[in-house]
Amino acid sequence: MTTSNPKRYGLYFAPPADHPLWLAGCTWLGRDAQAGKPLSPPARPEVSTPWRYGFHATLKAPLRLQPGLTENDFLQAVQAWASQQTAFLMPALEVAELGDFLALRPVEIIPAEHPLRRLADACVLELDPWRAALTEVQQQRYLQHHLTTRQRGHVERLGYAHVLEDWRFHMTLSNGLGAPERAALKPLAQAHFAAALGAPLWCGELCVFTEEAADAPFFLTHRFALGDALSSQI
């Protein structure tokens, strides 16, 4: 299946643009992903992959629109959906290892009833009608990874393995690294983010990051407020 719109849209959490955590994350990666900001090279070679995606946590993985659906209609639907959600205080975060990379992760386990988990689940399920189905090649590429039976079902039904029960909140800070490289980088990340992680952080926006073409950097193009607050376009 193909579509005339080559763009992909990621539905993400990102701190407010004036929050210390956003500033710390952009500095760590070496670029500010907000649209209109000039590109700069990655701050260090270990962050080249998260540099491309921008500082964020995934709620719904990047998707292409179904053929015949327009970007404007999609963004209006996302804005309307966001306006029906409720803002909440984010859990405390820390620098941690997740698989072979470093990320900001919740200090405590996030239960299914936590508003952050409920927001991610609802985003995945309720906005899925806009997502173009994976091509056979794309689906097989995903299924080549070491996935559980449940994760394979997620790929087939929702286009991504790490959703619902398999979703883990994380804000990626590095490429996949070997154990010695992670051990060397982790204290640097802990020192860099220490002050920012001490500031209270609210989830009050649903952010849309846009990839204009395959392998292009993602830019934060829209911040849609949760609840009744006004939303904004970057």
Angle at 67 (CA atoms; ends 56, 62), nearest 5 degrees = 10
List average pLDDT for each run of 10 residues in the chain, which is 234 residues long: 74 97 96 85 94 97 95 97 96 97 97 96 97 84 82 91 95 97 97 97 97 94 82 48
What is this structure's pTM? Answer: 0.92
Please state, in angstroms and rounded to a whole number, the distance separating the CA atoms of residues 189 and 104: 9
Q: What is the DSSP code (8-state) at residue 88?
A: E
Amino acid identity, position 148: T
Helix then strand then coil, in percent of the chain rounded to 5, is 35, 20, 40
| Cα dihedral 226, 107, 127, 213 sign | positive
State the pLDDT at residue 4: 65
pLDDT at site 1 = 38
Provide the pLDDT for residue 36: 78
Tell me what pLDDT residue 2 has. 42
What are the structural domains of the chain? Answer: 8-109+168-229 (3.90.1140.10)
Q: Return the amino acid letter for 171.
A: M
Q: What is the pLDDT of residue 231?
A: 45
The per-residue DSSP string of 115-132 comes to: HHHHHHHHHHHHTGGGBP
